Amino acid sequence: MSQGDKSKYTDKQKRQAEHIEESYEKRGLSEPEAERRAWATVNKQDGGGKKGGSGHD
Domain ranges of the chain: 11-45
pLDDT, position 45: 86
Per residue in 11-54, pLDDT (tens digit) is 999 999 999 999 999 999 999 999 999 999 999 988 877 766 56
pLDDT, position 47: 80
Question: Which of 27, 35, 51 shows the shortest CA–CA distance to 3?
Answer: 35
Is the torsion defined by CA of 34, 40, 3, 6 positive or negative? negative
Model confidence at 1, in pLDDT bands (50, 70, 90)? very low
Higher pLDDT, 4 or 10: 10
Kindly report whether the global pTM for this prediction surpasses the value 0.85: no
Model confidence at 3, in pLDDT bands (50, 70, 90)? low
- Whether 46 and 40 have beta carbons less than 8 Å apart is answered as no
